[in-house]
Amino acid sequence: MKPLGDTVLTDEETKLIADWMRERKTVLEEREIDDILRTIDHLNLTAQWAQSKASDADLERVTDQLLLSMHDLRTILSRKKIERATNKP
């Protein structure tokens, strides 16, 4: 961390800033996981929408993008799962 200008931080200020940075990192990591969990909810809602509410025109508009995104996600998740399984001691 760099203070502004010619400011010299005290040890206490440096510690407070470091503590804040650690706490902030934790909050951001938790938010990231929360975003992923919300994405799962949205995928489930999207499946329900496609099954019960979407018109043919609606489906035509989104199908290719959804399929490509889901394919990429499935590929990555499958590869990572295999890596975790084979890297166990």
Q: What is the pLDDT of residue 36?
A: 97
Q: Which of 65, 62, 40 is nearest to 50 (CA)?
A: 62
Q: Is 8 left (phi over 0), alpha (psi -120 to 50) or beta?
A: beta
pTM reported for the whole predicted model: 0.71
- CA dist., res. 85 & res. 77, Å (int): 12
Helix (H) or strand (E) segment spanning residue 34: helix 11-52
Burial status of residue 66 (CB atoms within 10 A of its CB: 0-12, 13-18, 19 or more): middle
15-45 per-position pLDDT tens digit: 999 999 999 999 999 999 999 999 999 999 9
Q: What is the pLDDT of residue 89?
A: 66
Who has greater pLDDT, 24 or 89? 24
Q: What is the pLDDT of residue 65?
A: 97
Using the predicted structure, report yes or no on whether residue 4 has a pLDDT greater than 90.
Answer: no
